[in-house]
Structure 1
């Protein structure tokens, strides 16, 4: 072997090795490169204790992106084995009365065990039919269309437990270092969103999937 061909062989071997290593970093079943930390997702500065298979969604009922992400995220979770736990946190800032009120809507429904069942119905009412469910009268009227006893709903709405959860909501959002919604946190450690994932809302689920399976 000549002195010229030896470097060439070494270079080809390095190329093959590099390509192989890059391939190992890609999500299973895809040819795309793995999501990049600091670009398509971030690591929380202060991770929150959680199961590696807990996925937390921070959302707002009056957010179009939250609406678009909600069902695909549930559909993805339903396909996971072992199961994935989806936790929901309403996005709330103390100086945003409407967001605080929609957090109250969520915690009211959650107290009645209806937040998951009625998720799409609430989004549809708020985003498509333009109901203002932050007003108790409107919320009671809408509840009747869903077969919910308005008195039970208002009892939950006015309960000390719901009021406390609403009061705590902004600090809970801050704990997950969320400043945009929707955001998705995987295992209490990694956060992504349609604003940093490639492809927006459709591209968020593949990033979530990658982090679930590759970040342990």
Structure 2
């Protein structure tokens, strides 16, 4: 082999190796790194503007979620951690995703509003997700909810009083219309300042990339 051909062969081998490595990369959206700070996002691609914005503070973030949704589970804590770092503070509002023809979703909306009435929705969020997603509890059933609540140290009588209260019933019945007001058809979805909406299904990198888009939209709405 001549001195001319050796570098050529080495270059071809390096090119082949590079092509192989590119082919082995994870599919887009499965393990993408979050966008760098200050990255620009495009309306209609990584986020949308509501056709009918909802009156809200520019620093209000509304999360539409479902306890039995794996993406909601993955997004909940990172979103809370991000909000805790904001100064001035950011208010996170939670709305359970509910469709009237989905008894399971209406049931978990009832679980949320029951805990919320007791002032426990925020502190028990991860415990509920863990029970539903990891341990496969059906907390939409009163007996199962009571048993789970006892394990968490929640007063069973207070829980059932809230579960059966007319206030909780009214909130559950209003949940589908509230979701529609935010023009949400997938969960989780996050609405910033009552104007912009994003979700793991359109944010780059899925759940991992959702919070950077929320951060960008917060600064934009401000």
Same-fold status (TM-score > 0.5): yes
In structure 1, runs of 5+ residues without a counterpart are 1-28
Question: In 2, Cα distance between the equivalents of 1:204 and 1:111?
Answer: 29
Provide the secondary structure at the position in 2 that maps to 1:109.
helix
* Corresponding pairs, count: 188
Q: Moved runs in structure 1, 4+ residues, more than 2 A? A: 29-33
Equivalences for residues 38-77 of structure 1 within 5 A: 38-77=44-83
Aligned to 2:9: none
Q: State whether structure 2 residue 79 is matched by structure 1 residue 79.
A: no
Question: In 2, Cα distance between the equivalents of 1:183 and 1:31?
Answer: 21
The Cα offsets for residues 167-193 of structure 1, whole Å up to 9 and x where unpaired, read as: 000000000000000000000000000
Equivalences for residues 20-169 of structure 1 within 5 A: 30=36, 33-169=39-175
Q: Report the RMSD for the aligned CA atoms in angstroms.
A: 1.2
Out of 190, 201, 204, the residue aligned to residue 210 of structure 2 is: 204
Question: In 2, Cα distance between the equivalents of 1:60 and 1:30?
Answer: 29
TM-score (norm 1): 0.85
Question: In 2, Cα distance between the equivalents of 1:133 and 1:173?
Answer: 21
The Cα offsets for residues 17-42 of structure 1, whole Å up to 9 and x where unpaired, read as: xxxxxxxxxxxx93774010000000
Q: State whether structure 2 residue 170 is matched by structure 1 residue 177.
A: no
Using a 3 Å threshold, how does the CA distance of structure 1 residues 31 and 115 change in structure 2: closer, same or farther? closer
TM-score (norm 2): 0.83
Question: In 2, Cα distance between the equivalents of 1:175 and 1:96?
Answer: 18
Question: In 2, Cα distance between the equivalents of 1:89 and 1:187?
Answer: 15
Contact kept in structure 1, 2:187 and 2:199, CA below 8 Å:
yes
Residue 130 of structure 1: CA displacement?
A: 0.4
Provide the secondary structure at the position in 2 that maps to 1:50.
coil
Residue 214 of structure 1: CA displacement?
A: 1.9
